[in-house]
Structure formats: C-alpha cells, structure tokens
A and B are shown apart, each in its own frame.
Chain A
C-alpha cells in the first residue's frame, strides 16, 4: 500500500505532515468551513427572517427597512469574492488582528456567505404557506411566535436544503481564500500542487474537498428526509 502511494503520489506523502502538510490543511479547511458556516448561518437566518417579515406581504411590513436591507444584501452578493478578500482587508485586521491564515479568512468568508444565505433563507421562508401564517395570526400568535413556531418549523426542510447548498459553496470559497493566504486545502492545491508542478498534490486536495462535499450533502439529504412529511 505504502509502495503504491510512494510511486504514484510521492509529493502527497512528502507533504503529509508538517506546518503546511495535508493533515494541517484538512483541519484548516474544516475550521474555516465550520466557524464561517455557524456565523454566516446565524446572520443569514436573522437577515432572511427580517426580509420575509418586513416585506410588503409579510407579518410586520416595513417598506423603508425592507428596501434598504434588500439592496444591501444584493450589493454584498455582487462583489466577487476574490475582490472582497482584498477590499475588506483593513476591517479583517481590525476584527481578528490578521489578514492571513485561516483566522484571517473567517471575516471575508462570513461577509461573503451571509448575504447569499440570507437570500436562500428568504426564498425558503417565502415558500411557507401563507394560509398557515394567516391561521396562526387568527389564533392570536405574536409575530415572534409566528417566526419560531411557524416559519422556522414549517420551513425547516427547505432551510436545511439551503444550508447544505450554502455550506458547499462555502467550501469553494475557503479554497479561494486559501489560495491567497488563508491556508487549507485550497492553499495546498494551488501553492504546493499547482505552482510547484506537483500535480498529485492538486489531485488529492481535490479528492479531499469532494469527500467533504459528499459528506455535507449526505447529512443534509438525510436530515431533510427525516423532517419531511
């Protein structure tokens, strides 16, 4: 077995351990993905709920607020991620004290993902049957109760679908952030595999990213299947 790896993936074996090795890179990618997903998830859900509830046909319509938030979300979604990384550098430094390494990648990852997820949350919650919302209003539920007991409950399967999709696209972004100094598998693939012509490293980095994507997709699909009736 080790003979096989030594023959076909010599650079992978050489780069397995160490500060810039595969083990570290996998951890860095997981770190960036999980922490960003948690923060972007919370921010996205809050923004998504605000978009749904303050819309004209929402439970607490507020035109000015909705329009502002709607435009802001669009604005941030429109900035290409590679440029966002550079543009918000000073802000990143202010928040986490550094602009490189996995920690430095967190801020742009969160800012790049949250608006995307907010839109996904909005789309998921808008799908919740308006009639059920009306029934809840007729029962005397408060807007907060409607959000937690109806929107989030009825929209949960769709939210998980969006969450899965967002997390997968987030992994894509971690690879990009990695390439410009964030570390992780993206960094591995580009700065080691690509720039040093160690193609086996690029290939194996991709395989690890794919495995990660399949695992997340699998968990998402399983949860949706359990929740949908």
Chain B
C-alpha cells in the first residue's frame, strides 16, 4: 500500500446510484488523503458529486466500492454501533443548517451531548462554552426561527463541535448565506482550525470561499477528481479548464476580458495584450516600470488583481504592451525570468469559448 498517514484516507471510492432503471455514477474512483490540521476544500459545480463524496467520509453515504479510513480506522468494516461511535468524531454542518426547530439554541447544542457521560452541570458549562466560542452566548434561549442565517449556522457549528470531533465537514455551509456572513463563517472555521487543531473539509461551488481559508483544494467534475493540490498551486497555475474557470471567476479576469470585448474598447487598444500571473515576492518588483526602463515598452494596465492567500501574494495583471516587436519579446522574456507567467490574450476569440 502507498504510504499515507492522513486523518482521512479515501481509497478508490465509487458511488453508484440505481433508480428507475437508470444508473448514475456519482463518484468515480476517487482517492484522497487529507492530513490532520488541513482545511481541505472540495470545489465543483452542483451535480459534480462533491456532496456525495463528502458523505462517504462519515458513511452517511455507503460507497459502492472503496475504503474509508478515518483516524486509522476502516469505517467500512465497522458494525452499525461502532460506526455511530466513530461518527461522533466527525462533526458536520449543512447548507440549510438542519437545526431542531422544537429546541432552543441551547437545546440544539446540548442535543448531541445527551448520551455523554458528562453531568448536567458539566453539560451546561460545555454548551455555554461552545456558544461563547461561536459568539452566540446571548441567544441561548432563542429558537432557531428567531435567528438569522448566519446565526443559525453558528449554532450548527457549535452543535457539530459538541462531541469534540477531530474532523469538521462543511457541506455547502455558506451557500445559503450572504457574502458578508459567508466571510464571517469562514473566518470562524479558520479560527477553529487554528485554536482547536480540528481538520476541516469544506465543500463549495465558490472559489472565493476556498481561497479564503483552505490550504488544499480538490476540484471535482462529473464524479471525478480532476485536479488536486495546495491552494497556491491551484490558484497560481491551474491546469484543468474547469479549475481555470473557477479561478478566473474568482479573480474576475474573465468578466474584465468579456467587458473589453463587448465595450468596443478593444479597438482603442494597441499592442499585444498579455496576462501576467505571479506568486510571491515578484509582486514587489516594479514590473511595469521595469519593462519601460529596460526595453522602452509601454505597458497599459487593463486589469490588475492582487490577493494575499495564506500570507503569500498572488497577482494577476492584464497589460497591453506597446513598443518595438523585438523589444516586446525581450520584455516578455524578462518577465518570464522573474517567474512571472506570461500568456498571450486573444481578444478576438469568439464569445463563450
């Protein structure tokens, strides 16, 4: 067996559904190794099979074939009772929160603790501590119907943490929330990862969510894992088309290019249009000034986006380079030497390619 030591190891997972004579392969031969302390993002469009895949981790979805190892325990081999014990080590939060409407916020967080060995007083202290952790201490006696979406998800998180799990699965947990609340919830997940050392698996269709907290990313398309790697690699140099789409949507490059094409601005742009991608310290180099000084090439900045991902700068720039043809080639070479990835942009290309 390949040497793996992740807290979650999925090996050759297949999930096939049969319904009304139709066979749907939701997950096709996926192997995944998630390390302790990771914030692992799984991104894909709806129907890609990511929710199915993540439900395999706690066996809410039994794989048709394959092995699920969590914490060195092969879950597929456990009895129903042993599996229930193992599940307590895997917290889960959901898109629609899935809180008990008949219980208060306190009751919801206390719910998973009913069978614990804690005394009533210890349980109360624990629930209060958890509510404090997610910033909802003042809402303990409210019912879920009295809370906003973001607050409900905080209750969901507190409830998921009640059994001190080592793993937290987030199934589209921010998809029903507005952008500001999404950021708050993701920040909370990141904080919990740091403070509690909990391993987090996030499923989403938004690259923005991934890039805010994840350190590793897997991209899924029609049941298959098409690309996997650490955030900077995926974000800085995506290989598959779908991955590029996600990154482009997130950085807004695509929108800008479309806009340039549509607005007729294209006619007023002279020179070669190139897209620059760079990671790390390169950013600090005054690129634009540099190529002007060295090669007398004017760079017209059409778009620029610089982000900090996990403390590293990732930049994207679209420039129109104007100058002598050979000088422009030299300038591009100079940029390449600085570890800047330069790509020709064809503005003429047809829409929706």
CB of A149 closer than 8 Å to a CB of B: yes
Whole-angstrom distance between the alpha carbons of A11 and B178 in the complex?
71
Which residues of A sit under 8 angstroms from B112, Cβ to Cβ? 139-140
Residues of B67-109 whose CB lies within 8 A of A? 80-81, 83-88, 90-92, 94, 96-103
Which residues of B sit under 8 angstroms from A207, Cβ to Cβ? none
- Bitwise, A148-170 to B at CB < 8 A (1) or not (0) is 01100110100000000000000
- Bitwise, A130-157 to B at CB < 8 A (1) or not (0) is 0110110111111001000110011010
Find B99's partner among A132, A141, A142, A227 (CB 8 Å cutoff). A132
A153, B102: Cβ atoms closer than 8 Å: yes
Looking at chain A, what size class is its interface with the partner chain? Answer: 10 to 19
**Number of residues from B at the complex interface, CB < 8 A:** 32
Q: How many A-B pairs fall under 8 Å by CB?
A: 62
B94, A131: Cβ atoms closer than 8 Å: yes
A149, B114: Cβ atoms closer than 8 Å: yes
CB of B243 closer than 8 Å to a CB of A: no
Pick the most buried of A134, A138, A149, A150: most chain B CB atoms within 10 A of its CB.
A138
A139, B88: Cβ atoms closer than 8 Å: yes
Residues of A199-229 whose CB lies within 8 A of B? 227, 229
B101, A141: Cβ atoms closer than 8 Å: no
CB of B17 closer than 8 Å to a CB of A: no
Which residues of B sit under 8 angstroms from A142, Cβ to Cβ? 80-81, 84
Q: Closest approach, in angstroms, between the C-beta of A58 and any C-beta of chain B?
A: 14
Known contacts A134-B60, A138-B60, A139-B112: A227-B90 contact under CB 8 Å: no
- What are 10 contact pairs spanning A and B, CB under 8 A? A132-B99, A135-B94, A135-B159, A138-B60, A138-B87, A139-B111, A139-B163, A142-B80, A153-B102, A154-B101
Which B residues have a C-beta under 8 Å from some C-beta of A?
58, 60, 80-81, 83-88, 90-92, 94, 96-103, 111-112, 114-115, 143-146, 159, 163
Taking A131-B96, A153-B100 as known contacts, 11 extra A-B pairs with beta carbons closer than 8 A to each other, sorted by chain A number, are A131-B94, A132-B100, A135-B98, A139-B163, A140-B86, A140-B88, A142-B80, A149-B114, A154-B102, A156-B102, A229-B101
